[in-house]
Amino acid sequence: MGHGELRGVVALDGPSGTGKSSAARRLAATLRARYLDTGAMYRAITLAVLRAGVEPTDTERVVEVARAAKLTQTSDPDASRTLLDGQDVGAEIRGPEVTLAVSPVSAVAEVRELLVEHQRAIIADALATAGGIVVEGRDIGTVVAPRAELKVYLTADAQARAQRRTKQDTASGRAATVDAVLADVQRRDAYDSSRRVSPLRPAEDAVELDTTPLDLPGVVAALLDLVEQRGLRVVAVGG
């Protein structure tokens, strides 16, 4: 497999609706690098919990389900797929049931240990085969890849984030009002930031980027600038 133009790990963290997934995917595609959506992995385990009829707050049983689940997360930016027990669950994990239950499931230490180990293996494989990977989530710069070559913490006004999410939900056929989405975004912000294990927060050496006034191409351009400033973009030879 030919190497892309990114050398190393770019860690993108931040709250919901700041543009992590879209920006990370576009950045990775531009640099012919890999892309890892860690939120999709927490969502898939949450789906497994719901399917098993387990309460998201029943820690012991949540851990059992997480251990038994067969999760596959691919890292192709043009076709990022999430498989649970062999089935593509990409659409279902974005639904409201999973969104409502994902924060308590993600707060369980054993669930995080399992997934962090899995994520590190995917990152190691990407570095060996493609040379670079853009990883997005809540704890990438702080826990999953603390030695990432570039860490960016995306922010945006809650109102702007809720508007983006509402538009996205409506476009994918899910009824949503800005008020309801704003309430969900604020609930998850509070839960994810205050949990004991790996709370959402910027790494000390992260660059903060406020995306409120930017459109998506603007965010990607700012990220590309940072990648180039750090000397992480290399010209592919014979790739």
Ligand X SMILES: Nc1ncnc2c1ncn2[C@@H]1O[C@H](COP(=O)(O)OP(=O)(O)O)[C@@H](O)[C@H]1O
Ligand Y SMILES: Nc1ccn([C@@H]2O[C@H](COP(=O)(O)OP(=O)(O)O)[C@@H](O)[C@H]2O)c(=O)n1
22 binds, among ligand Y, ligand X, none (CB under 5 to 8 A by kind): ligand X
> Residues 11, 151: contact at Cβ < 8 Å?
yes
Nearer to ligand X, 13 or 65 (CB): 13
Annotated binding residue at 99? no
Cα–Cα distance for residue pair 229/118, rounded to 1 Å: 30
Q: Of 153, 162, 217, give the one whose Cα is nearest residue 184.
A: 162
CB of 125 to ligand Y, least distance (A): 18
Rounded to whole angstroms, what are the CA distances from 132 to 35, 63, 74, 231? Answer: 9, 31, 15, 13
3-class DSSP assignment, residue 115: helix
Annotated binding residue at 194? no
Site for ligand X in 6-25 (CB under 6 A): 16-22
Q: Which amino acid is at 38?
A: T
Nearer to ligand Y, 211 or 233 (CB): 211
The residues binding ligand Y (CB under 6 A) are 16, 21, 38-40, 42-43, 102-103, 106, 137-139, 188, 192
CB of 59 to ligand X, least distance (A): 26
- For 26-88, strand residue ranges (E) read 34-37, 71-73, 82-84, 87-88
Nearer to ligand Y, 88 or 228 (CB): 88
CB of 43 to ligand Y, least distance (A): 5
Would you tell me which residues interact with ligand X (CB under 6 A)? 16-22, 164-165, 168, 211, 214-216, 219
